[in-house]
Structure 1
Amino acid sequence: MKNFVQSVDYNLWKIIINGPQIQTKTSAEGVVTPKAEAKWNDNDKKNVQLNFKAVNILNCVISFEEYRKVSRCKTTKYIWDKLQVTHEDTTKVKETRIDMLSKEYEIFTMKEGESIDEIFEKFSIIINSLDAMKITHFEQVLVRKVLRSQTKK
């Protein structure tokens, strides 16, 4: 998702990660308060518009189930944080997912009656998931694993 958002606009990615810049004003006493919308300059409006664009992009790229989890979030930072917590950003969840995928990789075998296309699809899902978790294998190792997993037939 990061590369997709950055390809649209790098500033959108910065807003997702860091949160939107809230338009503020500082009084003579040094008190910082939100700036009234009527007092926004062009840069303030651009920053607010970028947050709305980022929210829209995130809402478009997530599934309906994910959308239901984040639909009440008003900023991209809140959406991103909630998605990270519910998925893979927490260390324990990530480690558990890696363990499960590694086990699937280890015990991967062709079942009786499966075609080469079917086992390749299953294997690709496991490998792509491991790649997403930064666990990579050399192509030669993967080819040997698939060849060894085939039945005699």
Structure 2
Amino acid sequence: MKETETIVEMITRFTDIVNGLEALGKTYKESEKVMKILRSLPSKWHTKVTTIQEAKDLTKLPMEELIGSLMTYEINLTKKLQEGEDEKKRA
């Protein structure tokens, strides 16, 4: 994942790559896709990655659930950063 990229943009790019590979005959299990996405996240996401790894059975975690969890985390992270910036402006 690129530092400036959103989860939706990253998932779209990932899906395009996987679909291209599948067209060439390379297929991935759902669990392999989940692990590849988790490994591709930048360091500011490591807390969330660790939480998911400890709380979920990654061999059975659907992509939709992972994406939903990551999108929720991204929204909360963005909100916290925005609140911090707003607080600095008031000070």
TM-score range, shorter chain: 0.3 to 0.5
- 1 or 2, which has the higher helix percentage? 2
Larger Rg: 1
More contact order relative to length (CA 8 Å, sep ≥ 6): 2
Q: Could you tell me the TM-score, scaled by structure 1's length?
A: 0.32
Query: When the two structures are superposed, what TM-score results if normalisation uses the length of structure 2?
Result: 0.46
